[in-house]
Chain A
Amino acid sequence: MTANDLKFTRRTLIAAASLAAVMPGAAFAQTKPYPDGTITFVCAFPAGSGADVLVRYFSEKVAQVAKQTVIVENKPGANGNIAAEYVSRAKPDGYTVYVHSGTSTAANMSLFKKPTIDVTKALRGVQFINKQPFMIAVAADSPIKDMKQLTEHLKGKSGEATYGSTATSGKVLAEVYLQLAGVSATEVAYKTGPDSLNDITSGQLDFAALDPVFALSQQREGRLRLLAVGSPQRMKSIPDVPAVKEFGYNVDQLGWWGVFVPAKTPDDVVMTLNGLFQKVLQAPETEAFLNKFGGDVYTGAPKDVDELLAKTVEEWRGYVALAKIPQN
């Protein structure tokens, strides 16, 4: 609040001062190049959640490179549908920007019987943020050391096993693996990673499919053993955890975050915004920040984002059917 106010005052002062110095009394141009004004980042999570921290990090950094005020507006609810719909209806001028999980945006197309908007038509991709996988974990003192042993263990339990999952991505990762391995286990759903910790460490659950932030932090604390990541290859930031694929199960499930604007936003604005985010993403500080969230930095052109979004929408149609997730 205060920082933004300060920045605003300082900028206005500088602007006023330079105007006064350079062209006293002159009328100034009607249209200035984008960005020229306050940019709003829409966050689909409530203020203070882990994802909100990520959006606020980018708001701070983009504000620095764009030399504009960037504010974060939280529009939580309906699995991100409220935020996505809000952005799709905003003025397509590049001042309303949706920073959100591309995976979740795409998944909503199949998690709902009647999606409120067609995300591939109503939104336009600008830039990627990161790629982050969900992870398969067991208690640190579990005798299970890798995915093969996990499969053996589950076979031994002949259907009596349980696994913990957080978020739909966790459930999908586990269900895809179980199907490929030809074993079964019953899902126990948790709202957040921390909720599931005691049930995992006490051995009540046979394994868990967890979000990377939680899984990595508890591995560091020595409470969990990470068996594998859901990405097709190992992550650059966590090279010692193998990919599920290395054990012969063809799992290719990688979550990604991206930047979106209303579909009708002009090309030049999209390109400028793409460049602003690119600058932030290239900073070593950003890489360190994203690595802490268990993801690798990921950049690309606007059309790559559109293509990946369309591809993810299709993939999730398959996942939702496979994991038998009921539609809303």
Chain B
Amino acid sequence: MEVFDHLATGFMAAGTLQNLFFCLIGTVLGTLIGVLPGIGPIPALAILLPITFGLDPLSSLIMLAGIYYGAQYGGSTTSILVNMPGEASSVVTCIEGHQMARKGRAGAALAIAALGSFFAGCVGTVFIAAFGPPLASIAQQFNSPDYFALMLLGLVMAIVLAHGSVLKAVAMVLIGLLLGLVGTDTNTGLTRYTFGLSGLWEGIDFLPLVLGLFGIVEIIRNLENPPPPRETISTRMRDLWPNKQEIKESIPAALRGTMLGSILGILPGGGAVLASFASYTLEKKITKTPRKFGHGAVEGVAGPESANNAAAQTSFIPLLTLGIPSNPIMAIMMGAMIIQGIQPGAAVMTTRPDLFWGMVASMWIGNLMLVVINLPMIGIWVKLLSVPYRLLYPAILLFCAIGVYSTSTEPFMMVLMIVFTVFGYVLFKLGCEPAPMVLGFILGPLMEENLRRSLVISRGDPMIFINRPISATLLVATVLMLCLIILPQFRRTREEAFQEE
């Protein structure tokens, strides 16, 4: 089969000693960047970009790609251990992963995240090789109205995300939407809700928001109710590994997550984020034991982790086949390719097959390296939790501060982080969960832009959303989802689950 010939070409190109070396550097660097809360892959890639000028094009792309998925991977480690999502797609991992860690199953959560990611990475690689070009043409069918419908569906899913009351979840989504409005309006170029603060012109930065809401609030929470003095955490292999039951529950979840992630990753915009949220929603919906969710359900780690890794892989498809970067990281990769004299697009596949397939093959190699490097490290990560709080907390705070400050060397970002910490603490006291708010914050601006564009194009006729098959289908799905939430039967089971808490 042609696919295998192509993959063989790729493995030949990526398997040279030099390329393996750069793949290793990339994945190790990426893991480190991911583990440190607050230091995201975007600034890291940008800083490392000039170093790649002197490298062979394939080596430099392999290294940059390695940093990207290494960081995705490392990000889940911090999410699980200390409830600090480094980027949007690991917000979901915090929900169940950190609960598992609190129950002493940190090792299992990390191992499942690792294996799920690896599995998703393998599937993602084959997916790119086999279906890249045809899938890219589907993504090209998405017009503004379709994106609007997709974002709407995503927002409704956000309500299911919370395990508290529906009303609170809706309120949180709406607050997220409002926060997303802050900044310069694309249509008019005027600023909204900035109160004359120039730091708010480009909108609220994601990092201070999420570190404040999740990470620092978590520290305050632990200071308020110190967790029981921890017993010496066992680092015997037997306790670190997931048990049979956990493995049995995660396999189907990982499979479903991989599927969702592979498909959603192709869509530009919030692909990877949407994928992990969607996977969580799906798992929560179909589980037989809904009351486990929110208290460390292993499916809630396996599904989203597989989904975001699969999406991370397939988000290369639009770049490699259409020359369209689907997220900021892909935009950096595109810059790297342009500097190397390669114009990203379908032509790469025919003019430089070694480069295209070499990169695809290197993703699989990189994922393998990540598992090999990280599985033995789990013991060390878990031990990290036995570092006394008086040392761990200041260290985490320091890293958060460095990360937030380095994104744009403005003290204002720190102020923003403090504001969101206070806000997050109030939410915690009121029993509101921040995860739906984050999704609203991310999807809101995209939804607004696409809504307004669609209506300008249709000269104000809302039928544009129903006449297009893609958006019509998505809207029907949204209505169905809403019905599920509103149906009294359904609501009762939700509230029952809530009472148990």
Which A residues contact B (CB, under 8 angstroms)? 1-3, 46-50, 52-53, 56-57, 59-60, 73-79, 81-82, 111, 116, 160, 162, 168, 186-191, 194-195, 197-199, 201-202, 204-205, 213, 217-218, 220-221, 288-289, 292-293, 325-326, 328
Contact = CB atoms under 8 A, between A and B. Distances in A.
Contacts of B43: 47-48, 74
Given A188-B457, A217-B343, A73 B201 contact: no
Contacts of A73: 409
B323 A47 contact: no
Given A47-B42, A56-B50, A188-B456, A76 B144 contact: no
11 contacts: A1-B47, A47-B46, A47-B47, A53-B49, A77-B202, A79-B184, A197-B140, A220-B347, A221-B322, A221-B347, A326-B188
Contact of B201 (A57, A79, A205, A293): A79
Given A204-B144, A217-B323, A199 B50 contact: no
B338 to A, nearest CB: 5
Given A220-B347, A328-B191, A204 B335 contact: no
Contacts of A53: 49, 332, 335, 338-339
Interface in B371-416: 407-410
B328 interface: yes
Given A3-B50, A289-B339, A221 B143 contact: no
Contacts of A186: 456, 459
B245 interface: no
A328 B189 contact: yes
Contacts, number: 142
B44 to A, nearest CB: 9
A60 B50 contact: yes
A48 B339 contact: no
A48 B459 contact: no
Given A49-B331, A190-B453, A197-B322, 11 more contacts: A47-B43, A48-B328, A48-B332, A53-B332, A53-B335, A53-B338, A74-B43, A79-B184, A188-B456, A198-B141, A328-B189
B319 to A, nearest CB: 10
B408 A75 contact: yes
B143 A220 contact: no
Interface string B50-66: 11010000000000000
A2 B63 CA distance: 14
A191 B338 contact: no
A40 B331 CA distance: 24
A221 B324 CA distance: 11
Contacts of B188: 326
A221 B335 contact: no
Contacts of A82: 198-199, 410
B428 interface: no
B290 interface: no
Contact of B198 (A74, A81, A189, A198): A81
B133 interface: no
Among A82, A288, A293, the most chain B Cβ lie within 10 Å of the Cβ of A82
Contact of A76 (B141, B189, B191, B408): B408
Interface in B270-309: none
Nearest to A171: B189
Nearest to A50: B335
Interface of B: 42-43, 45-51, 53, 140-144, 184, 186-191, 198-199, 201-202, 268, 322-325, 328-329, 331-332, 335, 338-339, 341, 343-347, 407-410, 449, 453, 456-457, 459
B414 to A, nearest CB: 15
Contacts of B191: 328
A3 B50 CA distance: 9
B347 to A, nearest CB: 7
Contact of B335 (A3, A48, A201): A48
A57 B50 CA distance: 7
Contacts of B449: 191, 195
A78 B201 contact: yes
Query: 4 tightest A-B contacts by CB?
Result: A47-B46, A53-B335, A48-B46, A48-B332
Contacts of A325: 189
Nearest to B52: A3
A24 B144 CA distance: 71
A198 B471 CA distance: 14
Nearest to A168: B189
B341 A2 contact: no
A17 B48 CA distance: 29
Contacts of A162: 456-457
A197 B408 CA distance: 30
Nearest to A83: B408
B346 A52 contact: no
B457 A77 contact: no
A166 B188 CA distance: 12
A246 B462 CA distance: 40
Contacts of A221: 322-323, 345-347
B353 to A, nearest CB: 17
B331 A198 contact: no
A88 to B, nearest CB: 14
Given A82-B198, A289-B339, A75 B53 contact: no
Contacts of B50: 3, 56-57, 59-60
Among A168, A191, A293, the most chain B Cβ lie within 10 Å of the Cβ of A191
Contacts of B47: 1, 47
Contact of A160 (B187, B199, B459): B459
Given A75-B409, A199-B144, A56 B201 contact: no
A128 to B, nearest CB: 21
A191 B43 CA distance: 21
Contacts of A60: 50, 53
A222 to B, nearest CB: 8
A65 to B, nearest CB: 15
A59 B46 CA distance: 13
A326 B189 contact: yes
A6 to B, nearest CB: 10
Contacts of B332: 48, 53
A75 B184 CA distance: 17
B405 to A, nearest CB: 12
Contacts of B189: 111, 168, 189, 325-326, 328
Contact of B202 (A76, A187, A199): A76
B453 A188 contact: yes
Given A78-B198, A217-B344, A2 B187 contact: no
A305 B45 CA distance: 32
A56 B49 contact: yes
Given A74-B409, A201-B140, A328 B457 contact: no
